Homo-oligomer: A and B are copies of this chain.
Amino acid sequence: QSAAPAKAAQCFTCHGADGIAKMPDAPNLAGQNESYLVKALEDFRSGRRENEVMTLMAKPLSDEDIRQLAAYYNGIAIEVKKK
Protein backbone atom coordinates (compact mmCIF):
# COMPACT_ATOMS: atom_id res chain seq x y z
CA GLN A 1 0.00 0.00 0.00
CA SER A 2 1.19 3.55 -0.70
CA ALA A 3 1.71 5.75 2.37
CA ALA A 4 -1.59 7.04 3.71
CA PRO A 5 -2.40 10.69 2.96
CA ALA A 6 -2.17 13.09 5.91
CA LYS A 7 -5.95 13.29 6.33
CA ALA A 8 -6.50 9.53 6.12
CA ALA A 9 -6.09 8.93 9.85
CA GLN A 10 -9.62 10.19 10.55
CA CYS A 11 -10.94 7.58 8.11
CA PHE A 12 -9.21 4.69 9.81
CA THR A 13 -11.49 4.79 12.83
CA CYS A 14 -14.46 3.51 10.84
CA HIS A 15 -13.02 2.25 7.54
CA GLY A 16 -9.71 0.82 8.86
CA ALA A 17 -6.21 1.54 7.57
CA ASP A 18 -6.63 -1.68 5.56
CA GLY A 19 -10.00 -0.60 4.20
CA ILE A 20 -11.96 -3.29 6.04
CA ALA A 21 -14.73 -1.60 8.03
CA LYS A 22 -14.25 -1.41 11.79
CA MET A 23 -17.74 -0.01 12.44
CA PRO A 24 -20.95 -1.93 11.67
CA ASP A 25 -22.48 0.61 9.28
CA ALA A 26 -19.30 1.78 7.59
CA PRO A 27 -18.53 0.26 4.18
CA ASN A 28 -15.31 -1.56 3.36
CA LEU A 29 -13.17 0.64 1.10
CA ALA A 30 -10.28 -1.71 0.33
CA GLY A 31 -9.75 -1.87 -3.44
CA GLN A 32 -12.90 0.15 -4.03
CA ASN A 33 -13.34 1.80 -7.44
CA GLU A 34 -11.46 5.14 -7.45
CA SER A 35 -14.03 7.21 -9.40
CA TYR A 36 -16.77 5.85 -7.10
CA LEU A 37 -14.84 6.98 -4.02
CA VAL A 38 -14.14 10.42 -5.50
CA LYS A 39 -17.82 10.88 -6.35
CA ALA A 40 -18.94 9.70 -2.89
CA LEU A 41 -16.62 12.16 -1.12
CA GLU A 42 -17.58 15.02 -3.46
CA ASP A 43 -21.28 14.31 -2.86
CA PHE A 44 -20.82 14.20 0.92
CA ARG A 45 -18.87 17.49 0.69
CA SER A 46 -21.48 19.20 -1.50
CA GLY A 47 -24.41 17.76 0.46
CA ARG A 48 -25.74 15.90 -2.58
CA ARG A 49 -25.38 12.84 -0.41
CA GLU A 50 -26.02 12.94 3.33
CA ASN A 51 -24.59 11.06 6.28
CA GLU A 52 -24.15 12.39 9.78
CA VAL A 53 -20.49 11.44 10.06
CA MET A 54 -19.39 11.70 6.43
CA THR A 55 -20.84 15.18 5.93
CA LEU A 56 -18.54 16.39 8.74
CA MET A 57 -15.56 14.40 7.47
CA ALA A 58 -15.88 15.57 3.88
CA LYS A 59 -16.54 19.28 4.48
CA PRO A 60 -12.88 20.31 5.02
CA LEU A 61 -11.41 18.11 2.29
CA SER A 62 -9.79 19.72 -0.76
CA ASP A 63 -10.05 18.17 -4.23
CA GLU A 64 -6.46 16.99 -3.77
CA ASP A 65 -7.30 15.40 -0.40
CA ILE A 66 -10.20 13.60 -2.06
CA ARG A 67 -8.01 12.41 -4.93
CA GLN A 68 -5.35 11.08 -2.53
CA LEU A 69 -7.85 9.35 -0.21
CA ALA A 70 -9.58 7.64 -3.15
CA ALA A 71 -6.22 6.52 -4.56
CA TYR A 72 -5.10 5.26 -1.15
CA TYR A 73 -8.09 3.00 -0.57
CA ASN A 74 -8.28 1.93 -4.22
CA GLY A 75 -4.63 0.95 -3.96
CA ILE A 76 -5.29 -1.69 -1.32
CA ALA A 77 -5.36 -4.90 -3.33
CA ILE A 78 -8.19 -7.32 -2.58
CA GLU A 79 -9.17 -10.63 -4.09
CA VAL A 80 -12.27 -12.78 -3.97
CA LYS A 81 -11.45 -15.97 -2.08
CA LYS A 82 -11.84 -19.03 -4.33
CA LYS A 83 -14.61 -21.33 -3.12
Contacts and interface: CB of A to CB of B under 8 A. Distances in A.
B76 A30 contact: no
B39 A28 contact: no
A79 B43 CA distance: 28
A26 B25 CA distance: 20
A12 interface: no
A21 interface: yes
B77 A20 contact: no
A52 to B, nearest CB: 12
Interface string A1-30: 100000000000000001111001111101
A9 B49 CA distance: 27
19 contacts: A1-B83, A19-B80, A20-B80, A21-B33, A24-B35, A25-B33, A25-B35, A26-B33, A26-B36, A27-B33, A28-B31, A28-B33, A28-B78, A48-B50, A76-B80, A78-B78, A78-B80, A78-B81, A79-B79
